[in-house]
A and B are shown apart, each in its own frame.
Chain A
Amino acid sequence: MFDVSGVKDFWRRYRSNRAGLVGLMVLATLAAIVLTEPYLLLYDPKEPHFTDKLLPPSTTYPMGTDELGRDVFSRIIAGTRFAFLIGLSAAGIAALIGFIVGAIAGFYGGKLDDIMMRVTDIFLVVPTFFLIMVIAAIFGASMSLVVVAIGITSWPGPARLVRAGFLSLKEQEFVEAARLVGAGDIRIILRHIAPNTMAPLIVITSVQIAGAILTEASLSFLGLGDVNVVTWGQMLQRAQQYLRHGWWVASFPGFMIFLTVLAFNLVGDALNDALNPRLKEYGTKVKTET
């Protein structure tokens, strides 16, 4: 279902949003870093060099060293992979759950919709961050747990979007046409309506990736993250005590978080504008014009 002319149009619209292009370039660079990680590491990110503790940036250590003498630059590189991993997995889980809930609620309506919406409301009301903290505190903090926790607390956003999409699309004539041909519910949900709800879902997911990265960083910062993994949040957590001793230990991870979150947000925004004109394609032109 790849629409060549549509892709060209989309790209033309996306291109006109300069901030979005910047965001995209940043993400592309980060993705390149993730893919070429083994070649970029100067040192083992976990390897301490006790004789080189808290050194400022130099030719040997481009971003300096932390309190255990570990190379900040290499840790930043390693952290990039985890940032993407966490962001994409958590947002992916949220999108999947959100899609299932939203699709069922929007498509079937009635009592099912009411129940699902009440559940969604509960999740929206609960302070998710504290929920995650509690989960982490009880079950111990491991990377996978954090990712899953973020995922299952972020799905209400996508769910609402998908539900709205289903509510309006199920009344469209092409859906009725499919029914009259004899298509069953699953077919209609997955093959007819779902593709038309992808656009807003993609947009919100890109923003959620940013949110997930931030949340993980916050959790790690508070000491609830997975200590064994090198993430920017973990780096920040360590750096708290040593701020007086060296700006580089905190600034670099902090900056990376900021940059990545910003990039995803910009891209999400630009995607929104670029994808929206398509939504006007169906349904509104009935009378002749001009």
Chain B
Amino acid sequence: MTNAVSVGNPLLELKDLKTYFYTSSGVVRAVDNVTLNINHKESLGLVGESGCGKSTVAFSIMKLIPRPGKIVAGQILLEGEDLVNKDEEHMRKIRGSRIAMSFQDPMTYLNPVRTIGDQVAEAILLHQNVGKSQALEQAIRALELTQIPSAEEKARSYPHQLSGGMRQRALIAMALACQPGLLIADEPTTALDVLVQDEILDLMIELQQKLGTSILLITHDLGVVARVSDKVAVMYAGRIVEYSDTRSIYKEPQHPYTIGLIGSTPRLDVKSTRLRSIEGNVPSLVSPPPGCRFHPRCPYSKERCKRDEPRFVQIAAEHYVLCHKS
């Protein structure tokens, strides 16, 4: 349990969020007690590997958890309003207009038989009281905002006529069409080549500054997070294990998992002599290890770690670690 972390009223607060999936193989505790804040105009990077639950956090916020999953406990406060108990109709008004999401694989999330312009305009038509032609105009402007060259021409194109990078921009344009307060970007650059990735990241930074949009960036890439985010939350086995501003996470990582993650990432600017990998495998979310979930893989684990679940310890002004060590 942790206390609210930032000064000023946050845009989004997750409090003790739990999202479980009730499958035939058991209960998958994908998100198990997650507490997070995102302030206005702030960018938070949610870092973790596959199976840690980060995408589930995103879908929980959007209340798009498919069966057999459901939000079991906790609160999702969007500017103070709890979304957990809100019904589908209410959520539809929020999705696209106040919180929007973009995804890793644009090809899957773009309708292949509709033009880009139509798809971007759809969000506008749903949330704003404007006519079709005006919506299309706004759509073109949204596309221009994402720096798609010849936006008007591209608006008339179909997804398959665009390159991977442009499709990702189109997805972002769709998400930003109604200027939401929060953009959730789920692995926006994973499927892209490095040069295009660079451009998309620059775009995100620019959009954040221009539009004042907060960004929840979900990724497994530590480099991406270092570029774009103000704050970082590291996730492991359904829990946040470390939370801090970007600089502190990289300069003074505290949690053994964070340390391990950084130590196992090869660097471009430095020739590493030998990378250190983290022993073992990601635990099952159905039957996670008792006590601290990371203890089987932790080089510092003690007896206590096998028994007791750790609690959040505040290291510095805005630096929290879920570990017994401190």
Contacts and interface: CB of A to CB of B under 8 A. Distances in A.
Direct A/B contact, Cβ within 8 angstroms: yes
Contacts of B45: none
B30 A290 contact: yes
A16 to B, nearest CB: 8
Interface stretch (B35-43, B46-54, B306-314): B46-54
B24 A290 contact: no
Contacts of B49: 288
Contacts of B190: 287-288
A12 B55 CA distance: 28
B55 A289 contact: yes
Contacts of A289: 50-51, 55
B50 A288 contact: yes
B53 A290 contact: yes
A290 B52 contact: yes
A288 B220 contact: yes
A63 B262 CA distance: 80
Contacts of A12: 24
A290 B57 CA distance: 9
Nearest to B55: A290
Contacts of B53: 290
A255 B136 CA distance: 63
How big is the B interface, by class? 10 to 19
A290 B104 CA distance: 11
A287 B104 contact: yes
A276 to B, nearest CB: 15
A290 B54 CA distance: 6
A288 to B, nearest CB: 4
A287 B55 contact: no
Interface string B18-39: 0000001000001000000000
Nearest to A16: B24
Contacts of B104: 287
Contacts of A288: 49-50, 187, 190, 220
Interface string A221-262: 000000000000000000000000000000000000000000
A240 B51 CA distance: 66
Interface string A253-290: 00000000000000000000000000000000001111
B51 A290 contact: yes
B191 interface: yes
9 tightest A-B CB contacts, nearest first: A288-B50, A290-B55, A290-B51, A289-B50, A290-B50, A288-B220, A287-B190, A290-B53, A290-B52
Interface of B: 24, 30, 48-56, 104-105, 187, 190-191, 220
Given A290-B51, A290-B52, 20 more contacts: A12-B24, A287-B104, A287-B105, A287-B187, A287-B190, A288-B49, A288-B50, A288-B187, A288-B190, A288-B220, A289-B50, A289-B51, A289-B55, A290-B30, A290-B48, A290-B50, A290-B53, A290-B54, A290-B55, A290-B56
